[in-house]
Amino acid sequence: MKRIFLLIAFGLSVITASAQGKNDTKKPDNKDNRKYANAKFNYVVIDAPNHTYGYDISADSIPLIHQQSIPGMPGNEGFRTKNDAQKVARLAITKIQRGEMPPTISHDELKSLNVVK
């Protein structure tokens, strides 16, 4: 009898652990990813190291991103021009509005914006 009780208890603990594991891997629903879809965004070009530029992005006047270097690129250098920083800031805002948080910027996207070679 004691052996059956132990087997049942073990089985229940395995089932419970399995169910908890499934909940841990649950992806957030689309509402979580789109919480900034209707926010009012603003960006400001900022000075970065070595006479380069970066940007700050805010959503509904709440600071969201402080980017002093070119995203996805090695090193701490910022953008060569204010215009380059503006283009990437606008792309980042578009991605956030689509639910991409953090708004990852790829090397190919930087090339398509003529920010890097």
- Model confidence pLDDT, tens digit, residues 9-56: 444 454 444 444 444 444 444 455 567 778 899 999 999 999 999 999
β-pair type (52-59, 62-67): antiparallel
Task: Indicate if 46 and 21 belong to the same structural domain.
Answer: no
**Is 117 within the bounds of a domain?**
no
Segments forming the whole domain that contains residue 101: 32-112
pLDDT of residue 33: 58
pLDDT of residue 15: 47
Task: Indicate if 14 and 69 belong to the same structural domain.
Answer: no
Domains identified in the chain, total number: 2
**Is 44 within the bounds of a domain?**
yes
Task: Indicate if 78 and 38 belong to the same structural domain.
Answer: yes
Pick from 1-10, 41-50, 63-72, 79-88: least confident: 1-10
CA–CA gap between residue 98 and residue 16 (Å, rounded): 36
